[in-house]
Chains A and B, each alone.
Chain A
Amino acid sequence: MSGVNDFAFKMATVNGTGSASANGLLMQAIFRMGIPVSGKNIFPSNIQGLPTWYEIRVSRDGYTARPEAVDLVVALNTGTYAQDVAAVRPGGYLVYDGSWPLDGELLRDDITILPVPFGQMCVEAFEGDRTRTLLRNIVYTGTLSALLDIDMAVIEEMLKEKFAKKKSLLDANFKAIEMGYEYARKQFSCPLPFHLKKMDATGGSIVIDGNTAAALGCVYAGATVGAWYPITPSTSLMEAYKDFCERFRVDRETGEKKYALIQAEDELAAAGMIIGAGWAGARSFTSTAGPGISLMEEFIGLAYYAEVPAVFFDIQRTGPSTGMPTRTQQGDILATAYASHGDTKHLCLYPSDPRECFYMASEAFDLAERYQTPVFVLSDLDIGMNDWVVPRLTWDDAYVPDRGKVLSAQALEQMTTKFSRYLDVDGDGIAARTLPGVHPKGAYFTRGSGHDKYGTYTEDAAAYQEVVDRLARKINGAARAVPAPEFHLQKGAEVGIVSIGGCHAAVLEATHRLKAQGIPADYMRIRAFPFDTPVEDFLRRHKTVFVVEQNRDAQLRALLTLETGVVRDHMIPVLDYGGLPLTAQRVVDAVVQHVHQGTAV
């Protein structure tokens, strides 16, 4: 039930009208009041004129999953009124633009309806259609500040920061905020029963989206070559990388750039570029989404077989095909784990929030170079594009990049035997590589065609198999080096829940609710592939195992079935694939239903 610092509200608007920045302002203001908050933008694949929603959840306990019930809806899009009125929980509130009457059919008597003539107020107070449209967002921000008790000083401080250089805009924004605020104070009893109260819970945190954090991770890891082709929801990762590089990687005196960012002609080319760069010795990466991964597959196989490091960020969106480009999903789990034809298997990392995007980004480069292979970082639209409150990031200045086994000019000079690219000298499945241009003795011919352990072309069965068997050993050996699963265990738990990536917030919250309902559950969050033995142990240890994920076909469960000895039917899929971030209740319901069924039998 909702209460102080524990409720959810959402704004229903039309995209392209400037509501996004007002909504961001609201979320950030709550954050600055020290209250844990999360915001989720549900937007169309369109530039202007289609419905968009922004959901804000305030949770004094720090839960960030998408809320299942909405206490207050601000309905500003007449096109979605019916849906938005219906979304208010019984006993909740609806704010709408009272400049025009609400259709009688839409009235509900189990909610409180608060009309505010936003449009009319803006027409009277401001000049010009565009200005009026934009400021309407600020007026409703003012109204919400009154209804929810948002600290006006915080809002004003933020507006000042935002319009520091544009005095006239600042004045207009102040005026709009005041108008919305005063109107609500006069007309309604403020604040509403659920509202905000300053806390001290966000001091050590920042507000950041996963793509920005991942880009920062790339900069800190020392990545110098990025190549990409624009695609939602991955675009902002490369844009952020560019911004950070312009700030941190441009020589002040000469203007020289210590990075190369190439907008490729397509994803095939982007993959080729980063593989070429990785081969030449740079830390290189691309960011894309499912359609891009599909196009990159042939090259991914080349990098796997020829053993070239490269990092691929897959910011997953709803597939198949173009699917729903602005909705989230975890539909690429299988497509990345075994990307490309023939026998391949890839290292995959699954961050669950922006903070982990940062750390896993740098880890991905270390793994790619240590194992000389493509590494995938599977984020999703919700993590990548939405603002999250996460603990501050820190960087260990003692960090030294793990470049893996790369022979130096000196090592090559001293070599008495002929260098052979694919010889497993150390018995760990990883052969030493050389970089072009370093030393004449290091030269070898890199090929995606059949080769033996010396790197020579072969069509001989045994010589071919020797190499691919070593590759399997190498990749399976990486299971111990990739990020280990995270366990959240409870006393007396018989139920085990397994989940991945962006489901984390909802699943963790669900385990707390389940416990309160008398169902203690252990939770394992998979953080990487290939799986190490603790993953299989967890599955075996629990009588009932739920696998929670966001795709139709239970891809994580399929991967667990393929890669561990656990039979498929031991794992009960809990699937959510409509394109919106997961809610805790979805998980609770699935588990409760199953457990009760079980006891009834």
Chain B
Amino acid sequence: MTSILKPPVIHPSLPKNALGLTRRDYEGAMSTLCAGCGHDSVTAALVQAFWELDVPPHRAAKMSGIGCSSKTTAYFMRQSHGFNGVHGRMPSLATGANAANRDLVYVGVSGDGDSLSIGLGQLCHAIRRSVNLLYVLENNGVYGLTKGQFSASADVGSTSKKGEANEQPPIDPVLLALSLGATFVGRSFSGDKAQLVPILKAALRHRGFAFVDVISPCVSFNDHVGSTKSYRYTREHYESLAPVDFVPVRQEITAAQDAAVTTVRMHDGSLVRFRKTDDTYDPTDRDAAYAHVRKHQEVGEIVTGLLYIDEDARDLHALNHTATTPLVDLPYADLCPGNTALQALQDEYR
């Protein structure tokens, strides 16, 4: 449990966002995770991203499954509704909620056990359906909450705390998402807030399923020598792709054409600017993204960054042709055909 209690009084000089809210207004209950747990850093990045994007907290909905990672939706945005459901099934809850009310900003937080084992099917199908949702997978290679069993993302040869080596090949969530057609795919590290926050912001603005895999070490069960998901190993094998800046629509600046920057315009007019480190990388080319991740994986490097983005994607509601007014806001009179129609209809049942 993190031992620092948050001061009850808010300092008047804290910076405010466009809604007049401070970062504190985007925090939640006190975390009960182990001190140093990567998940707490992801929580902090989410606070930052939501605050910077000026999302009214009550217009966001936080969805999660079960696990240490899934608990974290309680630790940010206390003024948002949260739904901590059952293990591995957050995508279906999020899909249903989104179907009912398309106007909320949905964020789902999951773990590698929650997403890649018990919930693998739901994850895949939420991607297929293009549910408008930021899906954060806090990936630590183990089941934290049940005390350290290997998860499906554990690398071959990675050892458990007791020294046992994993021999089963891992499921790489990023390759999975790319191959299933996810329209926004990123990977980052809980220890790199500078990279993570802009990715989360762009993901929140993406219309469709935005998948962000975050390596988030478990200090209690998977941070030892021999683990490939420890802080140390991750730092040593970290291959940052192209740092991104997220430029919200209202801040849009007509920057001078810069050869070192690739810009992707999002559906709402916001910009994602990729500072190029590798001239050949194209974040809008799915196959190239896949090949890039594979190539580095083969030499033991973990590629991070905003890997792929498709802003022409159609989300669940576009595919379904759902009313633009959220279904929950449609008046009953619009939904019930009435008795006259019922009588006319029944003439066909004779």
Contact = CB atoms under 8 A, between A and B. Distances in A.
B84 A445 contact: yes
Contacts of B350: 28, 31-32, 206-207
A348 interface: no
Contacts of A299: 85-86, 89
A443 B78 contact: yes
Nearest to A224: B327
A281 B102 CA distance: 12
B328 A282 contact: yes
A284 B100 contact: yes
A265 B122 contact: yes
Contacts of B327: 224-225, 258-260, 282
Residue from A31, A206, A272, A401 with most neighbouring chain B CB atoms (10 Å): A272
Interface in B302-350: 317, 320-324, 327-328, 330, 332, 334-339, 341-343, 345-346, 349-350
Interface stretch (A100-108, A173-181, A325-333, A391-399): A391-399
A392 B58 contact: no
A537 interface: no
Interface string A258-277: 11101011101111111111
Contacts of B94: 276
Residue from B59, B94, B122, B129 with most neighbouring chain A CB atoms (10 Å): B122
B68 to A, nearest CB: 13
Q: How large is the interface on B (under 10, 10 to 19, 20 to 34, 35 or more residues)?
A: 35 or more
A257 B334 CA distance: 11
Contacts of A276: 63, 83, 92-100
Nearest to B340: A397
Interface string A208-250: 1000000010011110110100000000000000000000110
Chain A contact residues, majority secondary structure: mixed
A272 to B, nearest CB: 3
Given A272-B95, A439-B58, A302 B86 contact: yes
Nearest to A436: B81
B99 A260 contact: yes
A394 B342 contact: yes
Interface in A22-37: 28, 31-32
Chain B contact residues, majority secondary structure: helix
Interface string B73-110: 11000111111111001011111111111011000000
A268 B84 contact: no
B186 interface: no
Contacts of B337: 219-220, 248
Contact of A395 (B323, B332, B339): B339
A384 to B, nearest CB: 16
Nearest to B59: A437
A290 to B, nearest CB: 20
B57 interface: yes
Interface residues of A, number: 72
Given A262-B95, A276-B97, A440-B57, A446 B321 contact: no
A299 B95 CA distance: 15
B83 A446 contact: yes
A256 B324 contact: yes
Given A258-B323, A260-B322, A271-B92, A394 B339 contact: yes
Given A397-B339, A437-B58, A448-B85, A443 B93 contact: no
Nearest to A387: B349
B345 to A, nearest CB: 8
A280 B103 CA distance: 11
Contacts of B73: 445
Given A397-B338, A435-B328, A277 B122 contact: no
A68 interface: no
B84 A269 contact: no
A308 to B, nearest CB: 9
B125 interface: yes
A449 interface: yes
Nearest to A273: B96
Given A206-B346, A248-B337, A442 B58 contact: yes
Contacts of B121: 265-266, 269
Given A216-B342, A306-B83, 12 more contacts: A258-B330, A259-B322, A259-B327, A260-B100, A269-B89, A269-B121, A273-B93, A436-B104, A438-B58, A443-B78, A444-B81, A445-B84
Interface of B: 29, 56-59, 61, 63, 73-74, 78-86, 89, 91-101, 103-104, 121-122, 124-125, 129, 317, 320-324, 327-328, 330, 332, 334-339, 341-343, 345-346, 349-350
23 contacts: A206-B346, A207-B350, A221-B336, A227-B92, A249-B335, A251-B323, A256-B322, A257-B322, A258-B335, A260-B100, A265-B124, A269-B89, A273-B95, A276-B96, A279-B96, A282-B327, A299-B86, A302-B86, A394-B343, A437-B103, A443-B81, A445-B82, A446-B83
